[in-house]
Structure 1
Amino acid sequence: MSRNYKVAAIQMVATPQLEQNIVTARRLVGEAVQQGAQLVLLPEYWPIMGMQDSDKVGIAETPGSGQIQTFMAQLAREHKIWLIGGTLPLASSETGKVLNATLAYDPDGQQIGQYDKIHLFSFTKGEESYDEARTISVGKNVTTFDAPCGKVGLSVCYDLRFPELYRAMGPCTLIVVPAAFTYTTGKAHWEILLRARAIENQCYVLASAQGGMHVNGRRTWGHSMLIDPWGTIKAVLPEGEGVVCGEIDEAFMQNVRESLPALRHRKL
């Protein structure tokens, strides 16, 4: 891998309108590329944050075809970047449900990875209530792929609370976490969980979030960030749409792993 490699996370405040979100994603990815990003991560649910949970079922695509997948492949090819497409709804075998899928593309626009979200979020506190299992089917497979920066592990949002998923990936250079954390849970747990995953896996973590008040009344936490293998936040965007950029430094990661060889000390 190259010794220093620039990556970027896109932060959005997605709307119920697919076309509007595509325009925003195109603009922000362009900004990331202008800043030198070679790998770009979109947030969870970037194509749609509907008025109802079922709205995403209505725009679900079949694997390999559809407006959203075509757009992402073209975007990767146009900018010659590695693009990790946050999540989009892909058709599921379960009636009325979708897979919340992350697709990764190489600089030729070829899909080189798919991860379907395994852990489905539910939360109830007062009048605030969510249950992803109503419209999303559970994914099954741990997914990684190799990029010029090294091995990249794919995860989504609520997965962040389950460290065994990241252990199952094996040692990675970069773990990505596209997310739409609620304001309530994000304020309490987002940063500490991201930093913990970086520290315990001694790798970089790039988190791309929804961040603001959405048309549907939902408020997401934002705070897209890049964290290094020592747990230091290298860049962060608290709220609103924008780009978070930073470098992956292979030598720094190797120094951390040599000075504190925790990965070699594992017993279980």
Structure 2
Amino acid sequence: MTVYSDTKHGDTKHGDTKLDNVRLRITAATALMQTMVMAYRGLVKFRRSPQQLYDVIILPIVGTVLFASIFGGVVAGSVNDYLPFLIPGVLVQIVVTVSVVTGVQLCDDINKGIFDRFNALPVARIAPLAGSLLASTTRYAIAAVMTVIVGYIMGYRPESILGLVLGCILVVFAGFVVSWIFALLGVLLSEPSAVQGLSMLVLTPLMFASNALVPIETMPDWMQTVARFNPISKLVSAIRELTMTGTVGADTGWALLGCAVILAIFVPLTVHTYMRRST
């Protein structure tokens, strides 16, 4: 640890100026490489602790079977006729829901002092955060694949295989984007249970006030307005369009625009909040 003068305040503080100077010289390419290294660290954690993947394996099974059995006859007359409508909605619901865990784990890691070790390294501030969130896309991919497999076993047959693949990629990307919101909560709040509770409080109305499980036309008038402007509905509609027709429509554009807006707001906000908390 070196001693340096703070000429602005005219006093002397303790700090690692060499480390700060190294961080200032980090290029975008270096930051990207460091992020990938941190993401690999997250993947190693999954291998050493496979119970972290239990929810993304079990939840798609329970959710798909449960929603299909409850709403199939009411919405479409039969489970088989309901599956093409349901699977895109369940894909979004499950992937976005499991992304909450990212914020919870981030809060827990910060409390355990794991991120303090990263602060002592000459790495970009964004690398530990982005790496952790990037590693979690593995969980989202597993959840998406499991949902499709369960749907296929139940009789789901997409009209476009390519559209289904693109839809899964889109929902995994959306899960990564939304996880930045929960990461911000993980940095702001001091208790993992508080992160989970507040995240679900925000997420539950968005999930059910959407077209994920039932057509918007079946809702009360006031809720139809909410559902039509709900970003979850745009994402679900985009995936339905991809899986049913194999085409990229306006809803896909709106979904991608929404993702871009969330990233533009929450990435710098989360990094800034993390830096303030770590100093």
Q: How high is the TM-score relative to the length of structure 2?
A: 0.28
| Larger Rg, first or second structure (1 or 2) | 2
Q: Larger % of helix: which? A: 2
